[in-house]
Amino acid sequence: MHRADPDFDADALTRHRQIAAMSVEELASAVNVSSQSIRDYENGRTTPDHGILARLATAVNCAPRDLMHTHLTFAALRRAAGLTQRQMAQELAPFLANDSSPEHACQRLRQLEAGHTPNEWQQDPSLGTQAIQALANLAPGYDRAEIARLLLCPDPAQPPGTNPDRPEPVPEQPRRRRNPGTQNSGEPRTSAAARTWNDLNDRQRLYLAAIYREDQAAQTKAQAVRAAFGDPGPASEWRKLPFTIKAAPALTGYTTLQDRLREHHALDAGAGSTMAALHRRELIDMSEDQVEVFPLGGATRVLVSLTRAGRACARAGLDEQQPATTPQDMLSEWLWKNLVKVASAGPEGLPEDGLWGKSKFYLGTGFRPGRKAASRGYIDSVPVRDGDGPQSYVVEYRWRLTDAGRAHITQYADKYRHLYPDIELGPLASDM
């Protein structure tokens, strides 16, 4: 099974396809893949490899970078350039060592990805400058400063000795706890979660933020499973995040949490002590289970999960609010996104399989699953016939807005734009 690419942005593909006025079928034909593959990409079930990613970008008239999340990683840069790891190593080989054999170049690339600046670039900075320019030419859309930070090279726009993407490790030191009741009268009052975040050192904050991001990704995945009539199991289980497997990484690879830390060059021998410090503060829980690792057999896997205090601390430190309850008479973000999808399809309507999961039951005419109350009736499945005569027959069904759906969008469009700014409604409201 193709490994999921955390850098790929499924929503960006949908957005650019709609801007290009292409249907799923038209995009599939242009890229030479199946329509189901395009739907899987847009629903986040699978991700395209680097070759297909380049063809998708060409088809919807954008750069590969536009189909990826904003943070830059080696994997994202490599896919944007349409390169495999070996090909990228070959491109960098002239700037890494005199021995330009593929095996040696790959080894040096892995060292570079692990955060070790090549000695050649320290002795001759021009080699690093040339490597930056080579990658900038291969991956249009990424500027030189971004690539410089990724390659750990000097950035002309940044003071020497600073690199926000590679924070210096801070030794674990006990910090004196403050009494929340003894704040200076002139200081604004802060929550307990914010005070805890302030008491953490930079390295502990980085680890807690990485765990929080994975925790939120697990929550999104569980919500998607429920939307598809599945059962993700109890939260106490799916919130347990794999941190590491006690075996050689060459056999096990890295977990997604470890990959997040590697992006910040913070996965090293001190990881255990940092996790232990967060555990002592009761911000995380840790447990173990057994997994099969070929050819070793059983191996111990370390799992980590956020406590409520840890989740609140991360939200306070990252300045993120706890998800608010949807106002009465308005749709959740998930349902609003699906209603906009139907509205964006225009008079022709959205193919019946264009709505995924339970959204059609909550938006369409009929009844909500497991409830006696009628659904909102904002969309309806309308038959499309091959003609108007008595001998015509139904070719397919398509989702179209009802009068109630148009009225709802017109009435609440401005509020939705404020509530869910990432969902682009476009000029729909003014056209109704």
* 406-430 pLDDT, tens digit each: 999 998 898 888 888 888 876 654 4
Express each pLDDT in 47-78 by its tens digit.
888 778 888 988 998 888 788 765 566 667 77
Q: Residues 127-177: pLDDT tens digits?
A: 778 887 888 787 766 667 767 766 655 444 344 333 333 333 434 444 444
Arithmetic mean of pLDDT, 330-356 = 87
Q: What pLDDT does 220 receive?
A: 83
Residue type, 410: T
Min mean pLDDT across 2-16, 175-189, 201-215 is at: 175-189
pTM: 0.42
Residue with tokens 């890229």: 31
For the chain, the structural domain boundaries read 10-150, 202-317, 333-431
Among 71, 65, 79, 17, residue whose Cα is nearest residue 43: 17
Residue with tokens 């499309």: 384
pLDDT of residue 175: 40
- pLDDT tens profile 77-108: 777 777 777 777 777 777 776 555 666 667 76
**DSSP structure string for 224-286:** HHHHTT-----HHHHT-EEEEESS-HHHH---HHHHHHHHTT--STTHHHHHHHHHHTTSEEE
pLDDT of residue 232: 84
Q: pLDDT-derived band of residue 5, with 50, 70 and 90 as boundaries?
A: low
**Sign (positive/negative) of CA torsion 259, 265, 271, 275?**
negative
Calpha distance 55→67 (Å, rounded): 11
Question: What value does the mean pLDDT take over residues 288-307?
Answer: 88
Is pLDDT at 367 greater than 70 in this prediction?
no
pLDDT beyond 90 at 374 = no
Structure letter (DSSP) for residue 320: -
pLDDT digits (tens, 9 = 90+) for 239-295: 999 999 888 877 788 899 998 898 888 888 788 888 988 998 899 999 999 988 877
Mapping DSSP to helix (H, G, I), strand (E, B) and coil, where does residue 169 land?
coil
Contacts of 354 (CB under 8 A, 6+ apart): 24, 341, 342, 345, 399
Tell which wins on pLDDT, 8 or 399: 399
